[in-house]
Chain A
Amino acid sequence: MEKFEVFTGTAVPLRRSNVDTDQIIPAVYLKRITKTGYDDALFAAWRGEPDFILNQPAYKGAQVLIAGADFGTGSSREHAVWALRDYGFKAVFSSKFADIFRGNAGKQGLLAGLITDEDTEKLWAAIEANPGVGATVDLEARTVSVGSLSVSFQIDDYTRWRLLEGLDDIGLTLQNEQAISEFEARRPSFKPKTLPAKGV
């Protein structure tokens, strides 16, 4: 995972709340067995509509998404994060994220920052007044800025640290190998095992 550094990229106002993962990437795109190449699948149904925000030339190459409340609800599909990432998004801001989506985002280096409803409106207005304007995301300072407007966002310390350092989860966990083995030795014998298979 790459380290997350301060960057400025085109910002998009997505004036919709409750954007579920079926909207971010419809289920038909989940049949691929690769981990990349989902850029065409992002918001696939909406992108068929000519006036959808991402179809407007000013927002081409967007990297920062400012969405309404309850972003990423529904299915746990990590493909939603891959689609956003493959399209080019590096950061998504909303006043409320679904838990699973936020967890998935952190693991793939996509910043999911919490902002207030009030700041969401301010950012939308600032971007719409100047379509195509860049937003600067500073994870160290936890701010997102558009022109003279600078807004603070929330992200937990641990996810922030991992994004800044670009650390891989499995590697971190395997540092606890001894503790895992000791836990396994303590597990009661009544806990079920799938093997050898019974009931077949």
Chain B
Amino acid sequence: MTDKPLTLAEKVWRDHLVVKGEDGAPDLLYIDLHLVHEVTSPQAFDGLRMAGRPVRRPDLTIATEDHNTPTLDIDKPIADVTSRTQIEALRKNAAEFGVRIHSLGDANQGIVHVVGPQLGLTQPGMTVVCGDSHTSTHGAFGSLAMGIGTSEVEHVLATQTLPLKPFKTMAINVEGTLRPGVTAKDIILAVIAKIGTGGGQGYVLEYRGSAIRALSMEGRMTICNMSIEAGARAGMVAPDATTYAFVKGRPHAPEGADWDAAVAYWDTLPTDDGAVFDAEINIDADNLDPFVTWGTNPGQGVSLLDTVPSPDDFADANEREAAVNALRYMDLTPGTKMKDIAVNTVFLGSCTNGRIEDLRAAASVIQGRKKADGVTMLVVPGSAKVRLQAEAEGLDKIFTDFGAEWRFAGCSMCLGMNPDQLAPGERAASTSNRNFEGRQGKGSRTHLVSPVVAAATAVRGTLSSPSDLEPLDPLTTGIATLGNN
């Protein structure tokens, strides 16, 4: 008798099942890795303290500081009292409960979703949780990675398990070859525009197809990161040679016989032929344009070559009403060319696009050029290690010569809870993941873009792709070719 063909998500679920739920109760799943940061953990540690419970597995737990850390003057005490209180609470809790922590100033500090993969702690076939919705990032390794709330953080700290209801599965098939200047970010923005911010609700998404296979691990992380913006609980990519090459040799990667055993297991994880997904959608990579958002949710996106839509374009009453509200908030008129929208600020960073390849791609676009007058550009590496790597490659010099600000690692302007914020009414092209009202500061207006679109926008001052830029004169700039990934 042959086993029923299973999807990647179903296999990872099966292999972490501690207790099968009965009578409508959820399954109890074991958690391989718990990432902790300062914002969603204080109340969880407090709960443990009140109940007299220890952290069950400090050796499967790691903490870092990212959400409300400043990206300037990191050697000085944090000016904002509440931010400082929260960070001091995390340091105290980590010490008391024996949890490893990488604090501001440490070479391993950074955005929690950049730090895990960088240390080799994120590997295929794991269950990974964190009190942050963008935990879905780690699904790029073929892990089941989910954002959880603070009560669940406490639950995992106390028990290393989580009660979970089985999800449905959705295949996102992305076939074809991306054109130059079109990136992983454009794929995921197109997916969200297609299925909507609620389209993935109740599903674990599996990104499949030749265009996904061709992506680097960092590109796959960008895509899985924004699964949550499609409403999904998690997003995954089956592990392959690209995954193994990324993991191998990292500080916490398996070694020797453990490596061989791990690879033998990881090889069993990809979705079986004949496995059935509960839903399936197709994206044509060949004809994809750079994608940008015009509204106040990540599903309100269009091709950069397009115009701002009219509420009348939407058949669904909810979507129409959301468009009316979004256009008012964003101060945009239907019919305006996306490329005519001028921005005040360009933000390059975040757990979506703050890794080394993102910085390289943006640097290759701006090298030898000057920033548009009146535009502020903030470049914020996703981790202290990414910053060091970029400096070793001279990327910091390219950014500062261009006129951008080169900052220390953190979540920065992705969310309005540290000093990096937009002023009311200011408009940004941002490589982050959310364009909600007030997300980048009260009254802020956000257009989500890829790193290369962010870079080209900083050159022209209006939303632009690298192909909109005037060719550089190789004689005067000494730059013969432009990287275009």
Within the complex, the shortest CB–CB distance from A8 to chain B, in Å, comes to 28
How distant is the Cα of A194 from the Cα of B26 in the complex, in angstroms?
28
A49: B residues at CB distance < 8 A:
none
* Distance from A194 Cβ to chain B, minimum over Cβ atoms (Å): 4
Q: Report which of A23, A172, A180 forms a contact with B18, defined as CB distance below 8 A.
A: A180
The answer to whether B159 and A20 have CB atoms under 8 Å apart is no
Tell me how far the C-beta of A100 lies from the nearest C-beta in chain B, rounded to whole angstroms: 6
B231 and A73: CB pair below 8 A?
yes
A103 to B26, CA, bound (A): 12
In the complex with contacts A22-B438, A180-B159, A180-B161, A158-B25 CB distance below 8 A: yes
A148 — which chain B residues lie within 8 A by C-beta?
none
A150 within 8 A of B: no
With A100-B233, A195-B58 already in contact, the answer to whether A73 and B261 are too (CB < 8 A) is no
Do the beta carbons of B149 and A104 come within 8 Å of each other? yes
Asked if B86 lies at the interface with its beta carbon under 8 angstroms from chain A, I say yes
Stretch from B38-46, B387-395, B400-408, B466-474 that touches the partner: B38-46
Of A56-64, A128-136, A182-190, the one touching chain B: A182-190
Show 21 residue pairs from A and B whose CB-CB distance is below 8 angstroms, ordered by the A residue: A17-B322, A22-B434, A27-B415, A31-B82, A33-B43, A69-B198, A76-B132, A78-B150, A79-B150, A98-B201, A99-B202, A117-B318, A156-B165, A158-B21, A158-B23, A158-B24, A179-B18, A183-B18, A192-B120, A192-B123, A194-B59
A158 x B26 contact (CB < 8 A) = yes
Q: With A31-B85, A179-B18 given, is the CB distance from A174 to B159 under 8 Å?
A: yes
Residue contact A22 to B30, C-beta cutoff 8 Å: no
The answer to whether the Cβ of A26 comes within 8 Å of any Cβ in the partner chain is yes
**Cβ of A173 and Cβ of B131 under 8 Å apart?**
no
Q: Are A76 and B40 in contact (CB under 8 A)?
A: yes
The answer to whether A199 and B252 touch (CB under 8 A), given A23-B436, A170-B159, A179-B28, is yes
Known: A16-B321, A199-B120; 9 extra A-B contacts, CB below 8 A, are A20-B297, A20-B436, A30-B39, A30-B40, A31-B39, A33-B89, A77-B39, A78-B43, A194-B62
Contact, CB under 8 Å: A78 / B149: yes
Closest residue of A by beta carbon distance from B326: A18
**In the bound complex, how far is the Cα of B23 from the Cα of A174, in angstroms?**
19
B 234-265 to A, binary, CB cutoff 8 A, 1 in contact else 0: 00000000000000001111100011011001
**Distance between A46 CB and nearest chain B CB, rounded to angstroms:** 9
- Decide: B265 and A76 in contact? CB cutoff 8 A: no
**Which residues of chain A from 73 to 94 have any CB-CB distance to chain B below 8 Å in the complex?**
73-79, 81
* B194 contacts the other chain (CB 8 A): no
Taking Cβ atoms with an 8 Å cutoff, the residues of A that contact B are 16-18, 20, 22-23, 26-28, 30-35, 45, 68-70, 73-79, 81, 96, 98-100, 103-104, 107-108, 117, 156-158, 161, 169-170, 172-174, 176, 179-180, 183-184, 187-195, 197-200
Q: B24 touching A198 by the CB < 8 A rule?
A: no
CA distance A190 to B255 in the complex (A): 8
User: Complex Cα distance A107/B165, Å?
Assistant: 14
| A99 & B231 in contact (Cβ 8 Å cutoff) | yes
Total A-B Cβ pairs within 8 A: 219
Q: How far is the CA of A44 from the CA of B23 in the complex (A)?
A: 40
- List residues of chain A with CB within 8 A of the CB of B133: 74-76, 100
Q: Is the CB of B149 within 8 A of A103?
A: yes
Is B171 interfacial (CB 8 A cutoff)?
no
CB distance from B385 to the nearest CB of A (A): 9
B119 and A198 form a contact (CB under 8 A): yes
| Pair A104/B250 contact, Cβ less than 8 Å | no
| Contact of A191 with B325 at beta-carbon distance under 8 Å, contacts A100-B133, A100-B147 already known | no
**A31 to nearest B CB, angstroms?**
4
Closest 5 CB pairs of A and B: A199-B251, A78-B149, A31-B82, A33-B42, A104-B149
What residue of chain B has the Cβ atom nearest to residue A95's Cβ?
B318
Is B108's beta carbon under 8 Å from chain A?
A: yes
Pick from A73, A104, A180, A183 the residue with the most CB of B within 10 Å.
A73
Given A17-B321, A31-B83, A191-B126, is A100 in contact with B148 using a C-beta cutoff of 8 Å? Answer: yes
Per the bound structure, the CA–CA distance linking A15 and B40 in Å amounts to: 29
Asked if B251 contacts A190 (CB within 8 A), the reply is: no
A174 to B155, CA, bound (A): 10
Complex contact B151–A107 (CB within 8 A): yes
The reply on B54 being an interface residue by CB < 8 A is: no
Contact A173:B155 (CB < 8 A) given known A33-B43, A100-B149 = yes
Contact mask for chain B residues 141-165; partner A; CB cutoff 8 A; 1 contact, 0 none = 0000001111110110011110101
Residue pair B152, A197 in contact (C-beta under 8 Å): no
- List of A residues within 8 angstroms of B65 by Cβ: none
B293 at the interface (CB under 8 A from A): no
Measured CB to CB, the nearest residue on chain B to A70 is B198
| Interface set, chain B 407-428, CB cutoff 8 A to A | 415-417
B465 on interface, CB distance cutoff 8 Å: no
